[in-house]
Amino acid sequence: MKRLAKLAHRLIYDNKLLMIVSLAVAVLVWLFVAILLSPTDTTVLKNVPVELELANSVPAQFGLEVFGQRDFTVDVEITGKRYVIGGLTSDSKAVKVIAQTQYVDSAGKSRLELKATKVHEEDEFEIVSLSSDAIEVFFDTYVEKDFPLEVSLDAADGVAEDGYMTSDPVLSEQVVNVSGPATEVNSIVSVEARVELDKPLTETQTFDAEIVAQNESGGTAHYLTFNKDNSVVSVTVPIYLVTEKPTSVEFINTPLYYHTSPLQYRVSPATVKAGVQGIEKEDDLETISVATVDFATLKPGTNTIRVSPKNINGVKIITETESIEITVTVPNCTTASRKIADSNITFTNVPKGYEVGSIVKGIEEVTLVGPAASVQSVKAQDITATLDLSDADPDAAEQTFAAVMSIKNNNDCWVYGAYSVTLAKK
């Protein structure tokens, strides 16, 4: 009894001990109230993800997939003791919301009921409601098809600036692969590569195109993927400076002598109005080149070459003419023949690992053109045929290559005609 009395006396008159005991009692009372007498509260878990699992589902058994939006969230209202739900959020993953897919058995939009459950059944709270009871999801079977591309230019103020002209745009790809829901893909009637120009152009430019698929009703098909490799389709809009200039031609494979003493030629029409690419202003251009003439196509005397005005690279002829006629005169020249041995055939750009085999068909004879004295001085061993093997197919048993002819130790003769050599695989 004396010990109890002494302890009671100490509790009453020892302020420090009394404070400790009081604090302990207060904590115990708070815990009792918080746990046993805590009021029930409600809270809302914001943006809880909706689980849309298709593996082994009814739609999957019918070959159906989800297209379009498949990421959904809902708000979930829960109720429970304040100390239990006070710290819960959507990141706590205490609740899961599952879209019910068991009734989906055909293509189209389906309304999927949502079911919310506790992740751990023993958690002491209850689910009250969802901000949305269902979601709409588009189901269909997957297909893919190739469609030809058409260019669509949106140019409110015109494509080319005044003094310039344009021609048909050039696509980086002529065909586009379209994949997606069968209902949408099968409704496509055309696929466009669309480019919007904010102002008229004064030079050729290339743009990344927006790909749009038009359906049977004139609307836009949805839920589609264009080119599974995500390659960008570009549209090049060619622009030409419009000018009127004399016509001219250029020569290639020209013997040295004719660089300083060029052959005489005549072009009809002598002057044309045309659009020319790569020219900023008219003063930069003296003539319009309408053709490239290879000396290998020229024989002694008069040579007539006709060119379609539609087939001139970088030039669009505006002048009305069905063809452009070029007359090249080769004066004071004669022809002679020379036999070519296989040893005079050389190779360039041989691919790594490619072994040149035997010559199946060589060049038996070539025709020389040039001044009589010069032609007579050319020996057979002076003539070389060079084959470019950069495109050689290592799997081909035989392959034919064009030969580029050249003459050593001579500056005013050339080989007339086209020649080729057939090689066998080694």
pTM, whole model, 2 decimals? 0.70
How far is it, in rounded angstroms, from Cα 331 to Cα 296? 16
Same domain as 44, residue 124: yes
Same domain as 132, residue 44: yes
Q: Which of the listed residues 200, 219, 237 is the one where a domain comes to its end?
A: 237
User: Which tokens is 252 given?
Assistant: 């290639």
Band the pLDDT of 278: cuts 50, 70, 90: confident
Same domain as 346, residue 410: yes
Q: Which of the listed residues 139, 169, 184 is the one where a domain comes to its end?
A: 139
What is the CATH number for 226? 2.170.120.40
* Domain that residue 385 falls in: 335-425
The 10s digit of each residue's pLDDT in 24-63 is: 656 565 555 555 555 788 999 999 999 998 888 999 999 9
What confidence score (pLDDT) does residue 350 get? 92
Tell which residue, 277, 260, 276, has the closest CA to residue 204.
277
Same domain as 258, residue 169: no
How far is it, in rounded angstroms, from Cα 245 to Cα 343? 48
Residue 357 pLDDT exceeds 80? yes
Residue 248: phi and psi, rounded to 5, are -150, 170
Same domain as 404, residue 326: no
Same domain as 151, residue 85: no
What confidence score (pLDDT) does residue 344 get? 94
Q: Which secondary-structure segment (H or E) carries 365?
A: strand 365-370
Total domains, the chain: 5
What is the CATH number for 104? 2.170.120.30
The 10s digit of each residue's pLDDT in 115-171 is: 999 999 988 899 999 999 999 999 999 999 999 999 999 999 999 999 999 999 999
Q: Which of the listed residues 271, 299, 331 is the one where a domain comes to its end?
A: 331
Same domain as 26, residue 45: no
